């Protein structure tokens, strides 16, 4: 009797179970290998499983920032240093993390056309946004609760941003205030905005950020309540710590309807460790993200915000056109690093139609899946003004604090200079679509 079909089904079941592990799901590299392995021959399967066993038994994780060869080296170091549930929060996507992987894979479908015999002795990677010149086009995207990764949290990130000359965005759900972040940065920090379901609360956050000196408010529109973050939920099961001190309210904006997420503290308990909510009346707030937001809300916001107003989370031509019509000053093409919804569409593939929608009237930043200097080059060549990174700088933070963030930025700067020199482009403005070609399907 031929048992091959039974063995095949067993193999696929085992590999899918393996893929549910936070060790695998939290790593784009491992998850991608596993996805390919589901269609691999038995000999390839055996080779991969042997490699995985060696990996699990190895202590070959970098112990200092200078040992890193690329930004991905910081991921296992951060996993080793950060508690399981906290790392799961950082690593998670939606459902089976397909959009997380898609963001990364999108860049692999774009090739670079390199020109020769160009004088590339001097390379200028600076970029201007709203008339302000930054050392690089690399933006530190907003990440919430960064003290869950390192005691210095957002302040370490701000100091690294100052050291390397980068623009930083601060999350509404940050564990440091806008005032402290600007002080640590020694300069302006953009304020990301979750307006909640109560207008007065969002308005108060805006006014506080403006008073502190933030030159831009970035409304996030791509994240709704109830994301099915399976990698996060699985990692929480592995974490045996007593977390009541940090999560007194047990409110979770990411797990509506999931058993065990209600708590007497409610939203106020969740916000108690988020300084941007200090002193505000949260009695009527039930959601971090206003699920009833529409373009009338954007108009009202435009009439309220006195600094630059950007929208983060736009991924279509139609919405880009509407944003410009409503007086928005800039856009960030983003799907929240694959943790907003399981569309399986990478942001780098959304970027061209968003750029078409704005028609050059406002700057466009893109984030999601950026891990290499070549990724930054490709996004800039497509027409992005700047490129955001989220997980990579948080890996550096979790592993080594400020020094880790600085090392991540140094690596990306170095890689960007290298590909610019190799491709024959001496400044960011000279990186155009002429340097790209899509990989044949």
Distance CA 67, CA 129 (A): 33
pLDDT in tens, 168-205: 999 999 999 999 999 999 999 999 999 999 999 999 99
Residues 320-347, mean pLDDT to the nearest whole number:
96
pLDDT (0 to 100) of residue 363: 98
Residues 125-132, mean pLDDT to the nearest whole number:
98
Please name which of 347, 424, 360 lies closest in space to residue 390, comparing C-alpha atoms.
347
Distance CA 361, CA 350 (A): 18
Query: Would you say the C-alpha torsion 253, 387, 302, 338 has a positive or negative sign?
Result: negative
pLDDT (0 to 100) of residue 261: 44
Distance CA 233, CA 410 (A): 33
Name the pLDDT band for 224 (thresholds 50, 70, 90): confident
Which residues sit opposite 128 in a β-bridge?
133
pLDDT in tens, 67-105: 999 999 999 999 999 999 999 999 999 999 999 999 999
Identify the architecture of domain 110-438 in CATH. Answer: Alpha-Beta Barrel (3.20)
Is residue 302 predicted with pLDDT exceeding 50? yes
pLDDT (0 to 100) of residue 290: 83
Higher pLDDT, 247 or 122: 122
Question: Going by DSSP bridges, is the β-strand pair 127-129/364-367 parallel, antiparallel, or unpaired?
Answer: unpaired
Supply the residues annotated as catalytic.
Answer: 336
DSSP assignment, residue 321? H
pLDDT in tens, 233-281: 898 888 877 665 555 544 555 544 343 344 446 788 888 889 999 999 9
pLDDT (0 to 100) of residue 274: 95
Name the pLDDT band for 357 (thresholds 50, 70, 90): very high
Please check whether residue 159 is in contact with residue 188, taking contact to mean a CB–CB distance below 8 angstroms.
no
Is residue 144 predicted with pLDDT exceeding 50? yes
Q: Give the pTM.
A: 0.85
Residue that is written with structure tokens 């970027």 in the block: 351
pLDDT in tens, 18-74: 555 545 544 544 555 555 555 555 555 555 555 454 444 446 899 999 999 999 999
pLDDT (0 to 100) of residue 35: 55
Residues 358-363, mean pLDDT to the nearest whole number:
98
pLDDT (0 to 100) of residue 51: 47
Q: Which of 113-117, 291-295, 399-403 shows the lowest per-residue confidence on average (mean pLDDT)?
A: 291-295
Q: What is the mean pLDDT of the chain?
A: 87
pLDDT (0 to 100) of residue 259: 37
pLDDT (0 to 100) of residue 56: 47
pLDDT (0 to 100) of residue 6: 59
- The pair of structure tokens assigned to 391 is 């997980």
pLDDT (0 to 100) of residue 131: 97
Q: Which of 235-239, 316-320, 321-325 shows the lowest per-residue confidence on average (mean pLDDT)?
A: 235-239
Q: Cα–Cα distances in Å, from 61 out to 58, 66, 73, 441?
A: 8, 12, 8, 36
């Amino acid at each position: 009797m031929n048992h091959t079909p039974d063995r095949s089904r067993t193999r696929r079941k085992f590999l899918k179970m393996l893929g549910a592990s936070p060790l695998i799901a939290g790593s784009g590299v491992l998850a991608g290998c596993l996805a390919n392995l589901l269609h691999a021959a038995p000999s390839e399967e055996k080779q991969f499983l042997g490699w995985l066993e060696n990996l699990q038994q190895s202590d070959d994780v970098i112990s200092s920032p200078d040992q890193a060869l690329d930004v991905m080296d910081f991921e296992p170091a951060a996993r080793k240093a950060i508690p399981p549930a906290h790392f799961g929060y950082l690593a998670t996507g939606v459902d089976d993390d397909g959009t997380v992987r898609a963001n990364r894979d999108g860049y692999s479908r774009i090739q670079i056309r390199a020109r020769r015999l160009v004088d590339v002795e001097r390379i200028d990677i600076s970029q201007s946004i709203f008339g302000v010149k930054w050392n690089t086009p690399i933006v530190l995207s907003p990440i919430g609760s960064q003290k869950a990764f390192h005691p210095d949290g957002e302040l370490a990130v701000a100091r690294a941003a100052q050291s390397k000359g980068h623009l930083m965005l601060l999350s509404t759900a940050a564990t440091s205030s806008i005032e402290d972040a600007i002080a640590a940065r020694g300069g302006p920090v953009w304020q990301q905005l979750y307006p909640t379901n109560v207008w007065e609360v969002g308005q108060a956050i805006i006014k506080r950020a403006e008073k502190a000196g933030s030159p831009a408010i970035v409304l996030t529109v791509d994240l709704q309540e109830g994301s099915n973050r399976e990698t996060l939920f699985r990692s929480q099961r592995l974490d045996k710590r007593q977390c009541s001190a940090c999560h007194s309210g047990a409110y979770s904006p990411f797990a509506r309807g999931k058993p065990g997420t209600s708590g007497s503290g409610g939203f106020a308990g969740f916000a108690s460790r988020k300084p941007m909510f200090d002193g505000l009346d949260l009695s009527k707030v039930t959601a971090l993200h206003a699920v009833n937001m529409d373009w009338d809300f954007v108009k009202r916001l435009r009439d309220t915000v006195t600094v630059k107003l950007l929208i983060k989370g736009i991924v279509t031509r139609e919405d880009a056109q509407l944003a410009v019509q409503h007086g928005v000053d800039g856009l960030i093409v983003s799907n929240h690093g694959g943790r907003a919804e399981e569309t399986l569409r990478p942001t780098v593939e959304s970027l061209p139609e968003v750029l078409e929608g704005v028609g050059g009237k406002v700057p466009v930043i893109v984030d999601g899946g950026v891990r290499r200097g070549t990724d930054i080059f490709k996004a800039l060549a497509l027409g992005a003004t700047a490129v955001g990174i989220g997980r990579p700088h948080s890996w550096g933070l979790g592993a080594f604090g400020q020094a880790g963030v600085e090392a991540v930025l140094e690596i990306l700067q170095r890689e960007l200079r290298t590909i610019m020199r190799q491709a024959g482009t001496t400044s960011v403005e000279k990186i155009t679509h002429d340097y790209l070609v899509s990989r044949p399907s």
